[in-house]
Structure formats: C-alpha cells, structure tokens
Amino acid sequence: MAFGYLIVALVAAAVAVFALQNGAPTPVRFIVWSAEGLPLAALILISLASGLVIAGVPLMLQRWRLRARLRAAERRVAELEAARASAPAPAPAPPPAPRSHGAPPG
C-alpha cells in the first residue's frame, strides 16, 4: 500500500513540474470549437483528466456489479449453511457385504 502511495506522489510531482515548465499559451481547435491562449499544461492535464474519467467510469460500474454478485453469493452460502445446520444428518449407509470371487452375485 505504501508503495502505491509513493508511485502516486512521484507521478503528482512530475505533473506539477510539467505544468510549471509548460505554461506557454496554445491555440486549440476541435471541429467547430476553438480556444485561444490556453496554457499547454492545462490542455494536457484536461486531456489526462478526461482519459481517467473515460476509463474510470466503466471500471467503477464493473466493480459495483461484481460487488453485488459477491453479496448475492455470500447470502446464498449463508442460506445453504443455515439449511444444512438445521437439517438432520442422514443415517450412514451400511457397508456392502463382502463377496467371494467364485460365488455368483445375489
């Protein structure tokens, strides 16, 4: 867990340094929309945030569905364990009678 925090801190520091070094105004055009004087770092950070949202939303939905399936499976296991605990144990079957090799079955 600490290793993950270290990685996040290093990436955040790299992004901050990048933003400070790339503040030049840049014109942006997309289809019929245009913006003049947008800092290059802002453009890249907006693109990064958009990518995280686009990738993160489906992953969150998948995680939510899997958690719902897990809860349903845990409920089912609890029901089966409760039913098994309340049902009487079946009587053990008697062992089969030994047979000799030369005698016919019966």
Contact (Cβ atoms closer than 8 angstroms) between residue 30 and residue 60:
no
CA dihedral 55, 58, 64, 65 (to 10 degrees): -140
pTM: 0.50
d(CA 14, CA 7): 11
Decide if 34 contacts 44 (C-beta within 8 A).
Answer: no
Res. 105 pLDDT band, cuts 50 70 90: low
**pLDDT tens-digit profile of 14-60?**
888 887 887 788 888 888 888 888 888 888 888 888 888 898 898 99
What is the residue extent of each domain of the chain? 15-85
